[in-house]
Amino acid sequence: MSEHDETIWRTSSGRVGKMMAILGGTVIVGAIIFFALGDYWISELSPAGKTFAGITDEEDAPTVTQTGEDIPITLDFIESKDFRTLAFNALPGEPGNNPTINANVGDRIIFNILNAGKSFHAFGVTSNEEGFGGILSGTDVAAANNPLKPGDGGTSEFIPGEPGTYYYICTVPGHREMGMVGTIIVE
């Protein structure tokens, strides 16, 4: 079978080089664009997930300008030893548990948030009476699907434009029901 001792070339090296350059170039450019969009590692929920969580694209009430005073408050996420009771600052029954904030319309409440627990948490203010949705824009620190790790913290602020009762909560599903909720009474 010596007629086949000659190697059979399927294509030329020039062509191969061009094809590799095109394919490789596409991959590299695509990767740069992709990773430049940043923070993709733990990222958004799917559209169905957002619907489920009650997160919609427009939530934004018109931005309210501050006409009152600053109210800074420190809120630490804490957990009971068995992880079944969660709270801000102190466990239920102890002084300082889930402090109620009183404010006037136009005041700026500045939240200093720290995850002092061992689990994951995230922060937000909502007017919803239950659940983890309806977070008002600008009030969020981290999010349920990109939460604060133990020791992490952040700040956010809330300028109420309407009087009423608002709630500051941990936005990780279930944590509000387990105790991580406090009231903001705005007059």
Partner 1 sequence: MGHSNWAEWIYVAVVIALLVYVGAEAWNIENLIEHTPQDAEIIKVTAQQWFWSFEHEDGTKEVGEIHLKKDHAYKFEITSKDVNHNFNIPEFVVLMDAVPGRINTVWFSPNQAGEFDIQCREYCGLIHYNMRAKLIVEDV
Partner 2 sequence: MVLELRKARPVWQIMFSTHHTDVGLMYLIFSILAMFIGGAMAIALRVELFAPGAQLIQDSMTFNRLFTIHGTTMIFLFLLPSAAAVGNYLVPIMVRYKDMAYPKLNAIAFWMIPPAAALVWLGMADFGWYANPPYSVISSPAPAAEMWIFGLKILGVSSILGSINFVVTILKCKHPDLSLGKVPLLAWSFLSSSIIVLAAMPTFAAALIMLLTDRLGATGFFNPAMGGDPIAYQHLFWFTFHPEVYVLVIPAIGMMYEIIPRFSRRPIFSHGSGVFAFVLLAIVAFASWAHHMFATGMTFTEKTVFMVGTLAAVPASAMHVFNFLATMWNGRIKFATPMMFAVGGIALFFAAGAGGVVNTAMPLDFITHDSYWVVGHFHLFVFGTIAFGTIGFFYYLFPYVTGRMYNEKWGVVHFILAFVGACITFFTQHILGLFGMPRRIYDYPEIPEWVSMNALISVGAMIILVGMGIFLVNLIYSAAKGKPANLEDPFGLGGKYYYPFSQRNPHHGEGGY
Kindly list the residues in this chain that would bind partner 2 in the complex (CB under 8 A).
Answer: 1, 4-5, 7-8, 10-11, 13, 16, 20, 27, 34, 40-53, 120, 145, 149
Asked if residues 77 and 88 have their Cβ atoms less than 8 Å apart, the reply is: yes
- Selection from partner 1, partner 2, none that 174 binds (CB < 5 to 8 A by kind) is partner 1
* Interface with partner 1, residue 129, by CB under 8 A: no
Residue 180: its H or E element:
none
Site residues for partner 1, 22-41, by CB under 8 A, read none
Q: Tell me if 173 contacts partner 1 by CB under 8 A.
A: yes
Contact 135, 129 (CB under 8 A): no
In 21-163, the DSSP E strands lie at 70-79, 86-88, 101-103, 108-115, 123-126, 153-158
Residue whose tokens read 């627990």 = 117
**In whole angstroms, how close is the CB of 116 to partner 2 at the nearest point?**
17
Residues forming the site for partner 1 (CB under 8 A): 52, 82-85, 119-120, 147, 173-174, 177-178
